[in-house]
């Protein structure tokens, strides 16, 4: 079989695909009469440019092109059929010729391929039937009504069916579905191929290649989402072609090579077309870029698209003759769904919320919108499900007054034009088979069918399951067979095992694509036979999850509480509690309204007990007890009753809970009452309030409370103390005893204090008196203030590398002045290793403690200030430091480094004559004094934002975490409100400068020139070089290597940028919580601004992809090189950003970096450097070596003085 031959070859070497048929046809300068020939001499339309017809009218031309590519070394040639479908040919009124053209094209290619194989059997040749995307897309609308599309699945299917039959008739060896810009078009082609294979009882390999626009398919679908959408067809290979040259395709083929469980293919254009539409990239340049793909083992099949010729193929084949092919990586086998974005259900995702409100049978409101044709409101319902945390959207149109099939198609087509909804996978939900099929044909991604069962027997079940699999969906199987719905655990298990065997063994369904709906039935109905139904579900779920671990368990939660219609508070509580117990049993899918699932711990204990009594059938009266409770709740107040039952607790408990939950609403009322209950106001603080804040500290330290919750608790405590303070003063008792005095500061030259301020809040919450000296604090100020205030502990924070040296100086001075109090070290620049090796040995009279983050601060401080704990804590820490120091010394004696001269000999060797250097559209300085905030907010980095707050999960999944999801959502909403306010009221003024200049390199220096004449040097950027001893294949990089050497006489360019989102239009007074939000918003906006500027450079100022290394990162670790950049661009005068003495930028939320457009440029870390380079660097910088060593302290391979 062909598939076996190809797989064997692909394991041994990289296969070569031919080049551009269209480009080669252009070389023949054919006229209209050549296209027509005798066959179409009298055709009514002009057909010049319709290359496919040449297989009938000029077969000798097509034959010669194939022959040229085969002689050049192509293993696979493509048929001349890219446009040969009746959809594309309808523009020429030639639909009736499509079959003949495909057959003829395949025969021409096959004849030549067989001849070459016969001549050299050791190099077999193959013919790929070229199947283009047609000139229509099923995802785009052609009218103001976005439900009306350019084409539809069935039309595409019929067109591809005809083409594939003809290609196979002509003898192709495989099918190449190429230049895919819309996954619906691609899925129609795959479905057609499967049907033809079934009809002809054959199977051919299929290769799929997509084309990208701005990193995604034209439909907006991401690359990984597309992969998830088509992998069900088990193609031989997947890849990318057209639209971009090799350098611009590189990051995407690199991404694909990591995530694809298939062989990869790539056939780029010969660069980008010039103004005249021609491709300037030479075969030598093209081959070198492709060779780089091979060196990184990214590809298995490679060729050329637009602009490539047989010469390109010759050089590729030569370059890659001994190249090692990519090995298919071991990709974790998990459920992979998609809309426009992927949803990969990893083991970290414990539960999938399927939004239920876009269902005409379950939501009167949604039904009303659909019936009245108010589709904007209906879409808003679906959108809100996403906003509330649904990861999948269930769509159901089964209403008696509706044409369900038509409405399903219509609504899904509307969704495809709404990116906010379309990003999520869709669950097509219907009891009507034709509605399910119609819905699946509208999905660009991989969705889920809800549902099929064995109710009508195996024959129908198998037929339906095959179609679902062919259309690329996962399946929800209802535990229902010929005997009816399964109620007992035994029946549920029996039916699901039977279905599993059929789905996996007969239809080849992946277990990961099977979801069992075990039938959630109503409980608490008053009927005794219903009392055990929840237990039966849980037992079945537990068994199936243990025995079929890769499958999923689901259920419709609303059924559970059916007896309590109209009692939404009870229903929501029942759903939450059932999920709480069902998830550990294996239930990880549920159709729910994600906005109406209360947190288990927030449900009143009494109600929780009543519901659990019902779920687990604990006593015969359980139903009636819950009914009585429900009947005593009046509807208008039901939410308040549930959420505020704690208000009936004792006064002390209420005060304690107000602090723990951060609720200030009732504080003054309760504190007023407490003033009469306690003889002294201070006792209120010392008892219920301190009890609450102590529990907050424990919860936060144990990771059971997230930072936003802690800040709210601190805010509540502050509110309570402020309320009580006048009463305390009136009673002449002003001293509230703290747990200790702690002085904290960001060291001199450093302005980053977010982490320090979080520690401030955390420690205040635990009744420590904090002296927060702020940022850029000099050593003398820190130590003088510590003496003055009799501080128990000093804490130092720093973000940048020079801050490490400053901390060392503080420790030395503490030792000299005779301090004995503990010294805490923290911040992004610090580490336990640096603390142990560089600081701990210096401060002998006291102890130095590394604090990783705010969550450790409380327990560390408590241990240091507790006489009973301190000795053990310090001894354990000293032993840990000793182990680190010994390990470091042992390791470093074995590490050697190249001398600088040898490292230079080992630098990367670039063929500068064949590297394409793009001249910028604008050189010089461009200033942005009021960049669009809205544009920046689009690039807001929510992942970074939540990480800065200390959330362990990843956005957006964090919003649905069972433990911290509620707080994450609250923080998300608070932040969105502030972002809107920032934008509306112009709180922040984004400013930036970009400078692009001619440049060349000399070793590690980059000379910057004033003009293209390159006669005047206006600045020199000195960089560093890696000195670690690498393998021969891995060079020792310097950033300067990516610029053409001065001696090459090749004109190159460099870009600089400085930006800030730290400038405020006015002072904004907020509490601690909102101050932290604002600080982190600025940082994340700075990152977003960096992306927005980069896009402007790419699309307007330079017109080329580039990397943008920021100064201070491991690629450019010396912050002091900001100073010449600031002078060159006149940053201070133009946008108001300044440098501290340690080159930290003020205001915060500022970034300084470079743009480097070399296609080989990449990010790397300098690593440790030896003293010879430090001396050389200091000389080149004309700086004292001690300052250089301070700036590069953590990068030195030796101990500095």
Taking only the tens place, the pLDDT of each residue in 314-332 is: 999 999 999 999 999 999 9
The residue among 282, 279, 278, 302 whose CA lies nearest residue 290 is 302
The residue among 443, 311, 343 whose CA lies nearest residue 20 is 311
Cα separation, 1153 vs 1101, in Å, equals 16
- 709 pLDDT more than 80: no
Taking only the tens place, the pLDDT of each residue in 963-1000 is: 677 778 888 888 888 888 888 888 888 999 999 999 99
Q: Which residues pair with 1000 in a beta bridge?
A: 1007
Domain-by-domain residue ranges, the chain?
A: 2-319, 335-341+350-446, 478-644, 653-730, 741-892, 904-1195
What the block records as the tokens of 1130 is: 């006149």
Please return the burial class of 935, using the count of CB atoms within 10 Å of its CB with bins 0-12, 13-18 and 19+. middle
Taking only the tens place, the pLDDT of each residue in 1001-1034 is: 999 999 999 999 999 999 999 999 999 886 556 7
Please check whether residue 1025 is in contact with residue 907, taking contact to mean a CB–CB distance below 8 angstroms: yes
Please check whether residue 598 is in contact with residue 516, taking contact to mean a CB–CB distance below 8 angstroms: no
The residue among 1090, 1158, 804 whose CA lies nearest residue 941 is 1090
Q: Which CATH architecture has domain 478-644?
A: Alpha-Beta Barrel (3.20)
Taking only the tens place, the pLDDT of each residue in 478-535 is: 999 999 899 999 999 999 999 999 999 999 999 999 999 999 998 988 778 889 999 9
Mean pLDDT of 1094-1112: 89
Does the predicted TM-score (pTM) go above 0.85? no
Please check whether residue 571 is in contact with residue 564, taking contact to mean a CB–CB distance below 8 angstroms: yes
Residues 6+ apart with CB under 8 A from 171: 106, 107, 110, 127
DSSP state string for 931-952: --HHHHHTT--HHHHHHHTT-S
Is the CATH code 1.10.1240.10 the one for domain 653-730? yes
Cα separation, 660 vs 1083, in Å, equals 29
> Active-site positions?
750, 752, 803
Helix (H, G, I), strand (E, B) or coil at 177: strand
Is the CATH code 3.40.50.460 the one for domain 2-319? no
Taking only the tens place, the pLDDT of each residue in 147-170 is: 777 789 999 999 999 999 999 999
Q: In terms of DSSP bridges, do strands 352-355 and 769-772 run parallel, antiparallel, or are they unpaired?
A: unpaired
Q: Which CATH architecture has domain 335-341+350-446?
A: Alpha-Beta Barrel (3.20)
* Gyration radius of the chain over CA positions: 34
Predicted pLDDT at 700: 65
Residue 495 phi/psi, 5-degree rounding, is: -70, -45
What the block records as the tokens of 951 is: 């959330």
Q: In terms of DSSP bridges, do strands 769-772 and 793-797 run parallel, antiparallel, or are they unpaired?
A: unpaired
Q: Which helix (H) or strand (E) holds 240?
A: strand 237-245
At residue 637 the predicted structure's pLDDT band, cuts being 50, 70 and 90, is: very low
Cis peptide before 219 (omega within 30 of 0): no
Q: How many CB atoms lie within 10 A of CB 602?
A: 15
Please check whether residue 421 is in contact with residue 392, taking contact to mean a CB–CB distance below 8 angstroms: no
Q: How many CB atoms lie within 10 A of CB 1071?
A: 14
Please check whether residue 175 is in contact with residue 129, taking contact to mean a CB–CB distance below 8 angstroms: yes
What the block records as the tokens of 323 is: 């190249």
At residue 641 the predicted structure's pLDDT band, cuts being 50, 70 and 90, is: very low
Regarding the domain delimited by 904-1195, which CATH topology (the fold level of the hierarchy) does it fall under?
3.10.196
Please check whether residue 1042 is in contact with residue 1054, taking contact to mean a CB–CB distance below 8 angstroms: no
Residues 6+ apart with CB under 8 A from 350: 583, 588, 962
Mean pLDDT of 14-36: 92
Q: In terms of DSSP bridges, do strands 991-1002 and 126-131 run parallel, antiparallel, or are they unpaired?
A: unpaired
Output the CA angle 1065-1070-1074, nearest 5 degrees.
100
Residue 1138 phi/psi, 5-degree rounding, is: -120, 165
Cα separation, 318 vs 14, in Å, equals 11
Cα separation, 655 vs 647, in Å, equals 10
Q: What is the mean pLDDT of the chain?
A: 88
- 800 pLDDT more than 70: no
Taking only the tens place, the pLDDT of each residue in 288-320 is: 999 999 999 999 999 999 999 999 999 999 999
Taking only the tens place, the pLDDT of each residue in 717-757 is: 878 888 887 887 676 544 567 889 999 998 886 766 667 77
Q: Which CATH architecture has domain 741-892?
A: 3-Layer(aba) Sandwich (3.40)
Q: Which residues pair with 645 in a beta bridge?
A: none
What the block records as the tokens of 497 is: 């095992």
Common-topology check for domains 478-644 and 653-730: no
Q: In terms of DSSP bridges, do strands 1052-1060 and 991-1002 run parallel, antiparallel, or are they unpaired?
A: antiparallel
């Amino acid at each position: 079989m062909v598939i076996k031959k190809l797989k064997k070859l692909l394991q041994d070497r990289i296969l070569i695909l031919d080049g551009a048929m269209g480009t080669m046809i252009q070389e023949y300068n054919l006229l209209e009469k050549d296209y027509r020939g005798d066959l179409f001499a009298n055709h009514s339309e002009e057909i010049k440019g319709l290359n496919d017809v040449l297989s009938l009218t000029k077969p000798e031309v097509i034959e010669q092109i194939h022959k040229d590519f085969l002689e050049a070394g192509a293993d696979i040639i493509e048929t001349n059929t890219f446009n040969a479908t009746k959809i594309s040919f309808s523009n020429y009124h030639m639909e009736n010729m499509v079959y003949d053209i495909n057959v003829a094209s395949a025969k021409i290619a096959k004849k030549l391929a067989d001849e070459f194989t016969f001549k050299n059997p050791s190099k077999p040749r193959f013919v790929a039937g070229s199947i283009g995307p047609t000139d229509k897309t099923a995802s785009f609308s052609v009218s103001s009504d976005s439900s009306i599309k350019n084409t539809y699945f069935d039309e595409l299917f019929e067109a591809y069916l005809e083409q594939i039959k003809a290609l196979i008739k002509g003898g192709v060896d495989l099918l190449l579905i190429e230049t895919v810009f819309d996954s619906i078009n691609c899925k129609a082609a795959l479905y057609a191929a499967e049907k033809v294979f079934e009809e002809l009882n054959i199977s051919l390999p299929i290769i799929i290649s997509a084309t990208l626009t701005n990193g995604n398919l034209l439909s907006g679908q991401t690359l990984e989402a597309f992969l998830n959408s088509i992998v069900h067809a088990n193609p031989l290979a997947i890849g990318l072609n057209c639209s971009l040259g090799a350098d611009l395709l590189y990051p995407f083929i690199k991404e694909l090579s990591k995530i694809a469980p298939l062989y990869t293919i790539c056939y780029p254009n010969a660069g980008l077309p010039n103004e005249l539409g021609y491709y300037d990239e030479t075969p030598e340049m093209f081959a070198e870029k492709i060779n780089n793909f091979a060196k990184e083992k990214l590809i298995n099949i490679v060729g050329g698209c637009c602009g490539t010729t047989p010469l390109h193929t010759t050089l590729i084949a030569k370059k890659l003759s001994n190249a090692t092919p990519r090995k298919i990586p071991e990709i974790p086998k998990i459920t992979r769904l998609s809309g426009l974005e992927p949803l990969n259900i990893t083991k970290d995702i414990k539960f999938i919320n399927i939004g239920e409100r876009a269902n005409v049978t379950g939501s009167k409101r949604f039904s009303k919108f659909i019936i009245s044709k108010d589709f904007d409101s209906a879409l808003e319902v679906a959108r809100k499900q996403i906003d509330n945390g649904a990861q999948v959207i269930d769509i159901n149109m089964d209403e008696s007054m509706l044409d369900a099939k038509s409405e399903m198609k219509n609504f899904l087509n509307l969704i495809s034009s709404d990116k906010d909804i379309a990003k999520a996978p869709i669950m097509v939900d219907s009891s009507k088979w034709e509605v399910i099929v119609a819905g699946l044909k509208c999905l660009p991604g991989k969705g889920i069918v809800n549902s099929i069962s064995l109710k009508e027997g195996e024959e129908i079940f198998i037929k339906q399951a095959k179609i679902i699999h062919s259309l690329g969906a996962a399946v929800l199987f209802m535990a229902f067979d010929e005997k009816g719905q399964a109620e007992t655990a035994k029946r549920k298990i029996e039916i699901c095992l039977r279905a599993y065997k059929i789905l996996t063994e007969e239809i080849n369904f992946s277990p990961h694509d099977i979801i069992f709906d075990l039938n959630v039935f109503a409980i608490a109905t008053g009927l005794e036979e219903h009392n055990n139904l929840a237990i039966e579900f849980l037992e079945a779920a537990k068994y199936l999850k243990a025995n079929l671990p890769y499958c999923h368990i689901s259920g419709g939660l609303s059924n559970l509480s059916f007896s309590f219609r109209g009692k939404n508070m009870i229903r929501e509580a029942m759903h939450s509690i059932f999920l709480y117990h069902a998830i550990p049993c294996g239930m990880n899918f549920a159709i729910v309204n994600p906005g109406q699932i209360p947190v288990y711990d927030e449900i009143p204990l009494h109600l929780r007990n009543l519901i659990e009594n019902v779920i687990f059938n604990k006593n015969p009266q359980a139903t009636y007890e819950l009914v009585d409770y429900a009947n005593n709740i009046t509807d208008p107040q039901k939410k308040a009753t549930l959420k505020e039952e704690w208000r009936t607790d004792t006064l002390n408990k209420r005060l304690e809970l107000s602090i723990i939950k951060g609720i200030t609403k009732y504080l003054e009322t309760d504190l007023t009452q407490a003033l009469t209950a306690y003889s002294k106001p201070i006792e209120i603080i010392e008892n219920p309030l301190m009890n609450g804040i102590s529990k907050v500290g424990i919860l936060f330290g144990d990771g059971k409370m997230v930072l936003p919750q802690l800040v709210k608790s601190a805010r509540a405590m502050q509110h309570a103390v402020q309320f009580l303070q006048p009463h305390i003063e009136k009673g002449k008792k002003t001293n509230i005893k703290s747990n200790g005095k702690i002085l904290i500061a960001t060291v001199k030259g450093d302005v980053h204090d977010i982490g320090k301020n979080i520690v401030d809040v955390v420690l205040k919450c635990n009744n420590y008196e904090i002296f927060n000296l702020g940022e850029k604090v000099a050593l003398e100020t820190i130590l003088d203030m510590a003496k003055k205030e009799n501080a128990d502990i000093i804490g130092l924070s720093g973000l940048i590398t020079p801050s490490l040296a400053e901390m060392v100086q503080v420790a030395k001075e503490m030792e000299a002045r005779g301090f004995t109090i503990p010294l805490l070290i923290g911040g992004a620049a610090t580490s336990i290793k640096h603390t142990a090796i560089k600081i701990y040995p210096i401060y002998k009279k006291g102890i130095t403690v590394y604090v990783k983050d705010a969550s450790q601060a409380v327990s560390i401080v408590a241990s240091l200030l507790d006489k009973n704990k301190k000795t053990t804590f310090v001894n354990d820490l000293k032993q840990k430091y000793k182990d680190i120091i010994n390990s470091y010394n042992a390791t470093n004696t074995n590490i050697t480094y190249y001398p600088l001269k040898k490292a230079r000999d080992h630098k990367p060797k670039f063929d500068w004559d064949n590297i394409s250097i793009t001249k910028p559209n604008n050189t010089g300085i461009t200033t942005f004094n009021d960049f669009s905030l809205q544009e920046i907010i689009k690039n807001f980095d929510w992942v970074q934002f939540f990480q800065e707050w200390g959330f362990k999960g990843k956005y957006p999944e964090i919003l649905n975490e069972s433990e911290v999801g509620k707080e994450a959502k609250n923080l998300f909403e608070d932040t969105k409100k502030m972002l809107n306010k920032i934008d509306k009221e112009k709180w922040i003024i984004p400013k930036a400068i970009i400078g692009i200049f001619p440049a060349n390199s000399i070793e590690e220096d980059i000379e910057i020139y004033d003009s293209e004449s390159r006669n005047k040097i206006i600045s020199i950027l000195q960089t560093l070089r890696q000195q670690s001893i690498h393998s021969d294949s891995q060079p020792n990089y310097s950033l300067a290597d990516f610029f053409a050497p001065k001696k090459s006489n090749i004109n190159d360019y460099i870009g600089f940028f400085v930006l800030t989102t730290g400038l405020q239009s006015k002072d904004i007074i907020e509490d601690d919580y909102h101050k932290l939000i604002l600080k982190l918003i600025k940082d994340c906006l700075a990152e977003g601004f960096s992306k927005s500027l980069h896009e402007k450079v790419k699309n307007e100022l330079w017109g080329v992809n580039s990397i943008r290394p920021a100064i201070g990162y491991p690629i450019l670790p010396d912050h002091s090189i900001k100073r010449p950049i600031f002078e060159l661009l006149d940053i201070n005068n133009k946008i108001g950003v300044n440098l501290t003495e340690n080159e930290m930028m003020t205001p915060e939320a500022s970034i300084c970096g470079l743009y480097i457009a070399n296609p080989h440029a990449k990010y790397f870390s300098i690593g440790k450097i030896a003293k010879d380079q430090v001396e050389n660097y200091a000389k080149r910088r004309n700086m004292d070596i001690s300052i250089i060593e301070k700036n590069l302290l953590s990068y030195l391979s030796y101990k500095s003085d």
